[in-house]
Structure 1
Amino acid sequence: MSEFTTITTTDALAVFCEEAKAQPYVTIDTEFLRERTFYSRLCLIQMALPPSSTGKETGGPAVLVDPLAPDLSLEPLYDLFRHEGTVKVFHAARQDLEIFFHDAGIFPSPLFDTQIAAMVCGFGEQVGYETLVRKIAKDSLDKSSRFTDWSQRPLSKAQQEYAIADVTHLRAIYEYLRAQLDKTGRGPWVSEEIAVLVDPETYITRPADAWQRVRTRTNSPRFLAVVRKLAEFREEYAQSRNVPRSRVFKDDALVELASTRPQTEADLGKSRLLMREGRRPEIAQGILAAVKAGLEDPDPPRLPKETHNPPGNAALGELLRVLLKAKAEQTGVAPKLIATTSELDSIAQGDRNVPALHGWRAEVFGQDALRLAGGEIALSAEGGAIRVVELV
C-alpha cells in the first residue's frame, strides 16, 4: 500500500494544495453516497502528486481529505482547481465534477479525464479504472470496499487502501496516456470531450424537462401533460428537500397516477403503486395539484409521429455502420465515442446536425460518412478489411 496522510484541517489542506500548485499535475478522486439524497454527499477526497515532487520512484505525497471533518473548509482545494498551472487528473470525472459544481459552482481547470483519453487511445468503450491499472500500471486492485458506507468514521484500513489506490496508480496511467496523445496528436480530441464535461448545462436538471426521462407506453397529449406536471412536481420536491426521486414516488407510480388521474386523497388511497411516503399530506396535495394542472394544460406535449425511413435510408444506415467499424479499427478509437447508432440513423435520414459530423469526429468519420451518403465513395471488402473506394 502507498504511504498517505489523512487531512482533517483547512491549514493542512492548504499546505498540500500549495505544494500541488508547484507540480505539473495532481491526481484526484472522490468517494460519495447518493442512495439517501438527491445530490451526492461528498465523503472523501483522494489526491496524489507526481514522483518528481519528492524524487521517490514510488511517487509523490498522497492524501485522504476528510470533507466531513468539522474544522475543514474545501476552499484551498477550490483555489487549486482555479490554478491553471496544474492539470487536475480524474478517471471518469462526470460524477466527481457534478459534486463540485453543485457544492461550489466550480470545475477543475485544466482537467484531464483518463477514461476519455483511454477510449481515444484504443482501450475500448467506457474502459474501467481497474483495466487501466492492470494494462498500464501492471498491478491489480482490491475492489471489495467499493460499495461500503463512506460516511462512517473511522474508515477501515481496507477502505483507506482502496481509496488511495484510486489516485496513486492514476499517476502512471495519466503519464502513459498523455505521452500517447502527444505522440498521435490526438490531445485536441480529448479536449473537445472535456469541454462537454465542464459545461454547466451537463449538470443542470430542470424540473420542467424531467418528464422526458419517464418511460411511457402512451403518447396521448393529455396523458403526457399529466406525466409532465407530475414529474415536474417530483423533481422540485426532491431537489428542494435533497431526497431521491424514488422517495417521493417511483416512475411506475407516476405513470399509474397519470392514467388514473386521482381527484381526491381518497382516490390516492386506491393506488396500487404509491408507497406510504407518497401519501404524506404535502406530497399528496402536490400530486393532486399536478394532476389538475396537467388536465387543464392548454398546451399538452405532442410527440412527433413515427416516420418510416424512405427506401434506401435503411441500407445507407447499414453502410454507415460498416464505415464506422472500419474507421474505429483504423484509428483504434472506440466506435461509440465516434458515433452512436441513433446518429448513424439520423445521418442516413438527412440530418446534418449531429456530433459525428463535427469536430474531431468529422476528421475521423464524418467527412467520409457524408461522402458515402452523397455517392462519392463506396465500400469494398478485401479479405477481412473494409476499403474506401473513390467514385468521383
Structure 2
Amino acid sequence: MQIITTTEQLADFCDRAAQHPFVTVDTEFLRERTYYSKLCLLQIAYPGDGDETAAIVDPLAGEGFSLAPLYELFRNPDVVKVFHAARQDLEIFYVDAGIIPAPLFDTQVAGMVCGFGDQVSYETLVRKICKAEVDKSSRFTDWSQRPLSDAQLRYALADVTHLRAIYVYLSERLKRSDRESWVTEEMAVLQGPRHLPH
C-alpha cells in the first residue's frame, strides 16, 4: 500500500499518472466541526494492477506538504478525472485551490444513464460490475485521526481501485449506446458555478 506524505512523492506519482488516459479519485473528509469540509485523506489510482498504480495521499502529513502536483494533474486536459458522486469532492478542491478537475467523469451520473438507477451507490456498481463486495467496516471512521489502521487505509483505497473497472465498463457502454453526450452535458452542469460554494 502506497502512502504519500511528501510533495516529492506526490509529484512522482502524478507524473506517472499523467501518462495514462484516466485517474480515479476519492476523498475522505470531516464536515461536522467546520462550515466547509476538511480534506483528511485522498485516494487516487491510474490503470494497471501493481501496487504502484494506486496511492493514499495524506494531506495532514505536515506543514511542508503541498497538493500542487495533484492540482496540476487535475488541470491536465488529456487525463479524465473519474469520481463517484463527485459534488462534495469538487467542492473541497474548489475551496482549497479554486479549481475544478477537468475533464470529469462521474460514475454515479453515468450509472444512471446506463440504467443502474438514480443516485446509484458505489457499492451497487462494485457488486454489479466488478462482482465484488465493498467492506463497510470502516465507513464511520473519523478520518482526521492519526494513525489510521491498515484496515481503514485498505477500505479507503478500495474506493478508487474498483472505480477503474467501473469507469471502463460504463464508458464503453455509453459509447455503444451513443449516450456519451448525455453524460458530457451532466458533467458541464456539475462543474458549473451554481453547484460550487460562493
| TM-score of the alignment, normalized to the shorter chain, above 0.5 | yes
Distance 2:135 2:146 in 1: 20
Q: Say whether residues 1:117 and 2:114 are aligned partners.
A: no
Aligned ranges 1:74-223 → 2 under 5 Å: 74-205=67-198
Distance 1:59 1:134, change over 3 A: farther
Distance 1:177 1:192 in 2: 16
Unmatched runs of 5 consecutive residues or more in structure 2: none
Distance 2:96 2:192 in 1: 15
Distance 2:86 2:51 in 1: 22
Q: Which residue of 2 aligns with 1:11?
A: 8
After TM superposition, give the deviation of residue 48 of structure 1 in Å.
Answer: 0.8
Distance 1:60 1:9, change over 3 A: closer
Aligned ranges 1:222-371 → 2 under 5 Å: none
Q: Say whether residues 1:35 and 2:28 are aligned partners.
A: no
After TM superposition, give the deviation of residue 145 of structure 1 in Å.
Answer: 1.0
- SS in structure 2 opposite 1:158? helix
TM-score by length of 2: 0.96
After TM superposition, give the deviation of residue 159 of structure 1 in Å.
Answer: 0.8
Distance 2:84 2:51 in 1: 18
Distance 1:75 1:60 in 2: 20
After TM superposition, give the deviation of residue 200 of structure 1 in Å.
Answer: 2.3
**Would you identify which runs of 4 or more consecutive aligned residues in structure 1 move more than 2 Å?**
none
- SS in structure 1 opposite 2:66? coil
Q: Which residue of 1 aligns with 2:57?
A: 65
Are the equivalent residues in 2 in contact too, given 1:87–1:109 (CA < 8 A)? yes
Q: Which has the higher contact order (CA 8 A, sep 6+)?
A: 2
After TM superposition, give the deviation of residue 59 of structure 1 in Å.
Answer: 7.7
CA RMSD of the aligned region, Å?
1.2
Q: Percent identity?
A: 64
Are the equivalent residues in 2 in contact too, given 1:50–1:60 (CA < 8 A)? no
Which letter does structure 2 place at the counterpart of 1:195? Answer: A
After TM superposition, give the deviation of residue 201 of structure 1 in Å.
Answer: 2.4
Are the equivalent residues in 2 in contact too, given 1:49–1:60 (CA < 8 A)? no
Distance 1:142 1:31 in 2: 16
Alpha-carbon displacement from aligned partner over 1:263-322 (angstroms, at most 9, x marks no partner): xxxxxxxxxxxxxxxxxxxxxxxxxxxxxxxxxxxxxxxxxxxxxxxxxxxxxxxxxxxx
Distance 1:196 1:104 in 2: 20
Alpha-carbon displacement from aligned partner over 1:129-186 (angstroms, at most 9, x marks no partner): 0000000011001112112100111111121011000000000000000000110111
Distance 1:190 1:28 in 2: 18
Distance 1:59 1:12 in 2: 14
Are the equivalent residues in 1 in contact too, given 2:2–2:51 (CA < 8 A)? no
Distance 1:59 1:25, change over 3 A: farther
Are the equivalent residues in 2 in contact too, given 1:59–1:168 (CA < 8 A)? no
Alpha-carbon displacement from aligned partner over 1:194-227 (angstroms, at most 9, x marks no partner): 111111221134xxxxxxxxxxxxxxxxxxxxxx
Q: If each structure's helix is expressed as a fraction of its own residues, which one has the higher value? A: 1
Distance 2:151 2:127 in 1: 20
After TM superposition, give the deviation of residue 68 of structure 1 in Å.
Answer: 0.6
Distance 1:87 1:175 in 2: 12
The alignment covers a number of residue pairs equal to: 197
Are the equivalent residues in 1 in contact too, given 2:2–2:52 (CA < 8 A)? no
Distance 1:12 1:59 in 2: 14
Are the equivalent residues in 2 in contact too, given 1:49–1:59 (CA < 8 A)? no
Q: Which residue of 2 aligns with 1:47?
A: 44
Are the equivalent residues in 2 in contact too, given 1:121–1:177 (CA < 8 A)? yes
Q: If each structure's strand is expressed as a fraction of its own residues, which one has the higher value? A: 2
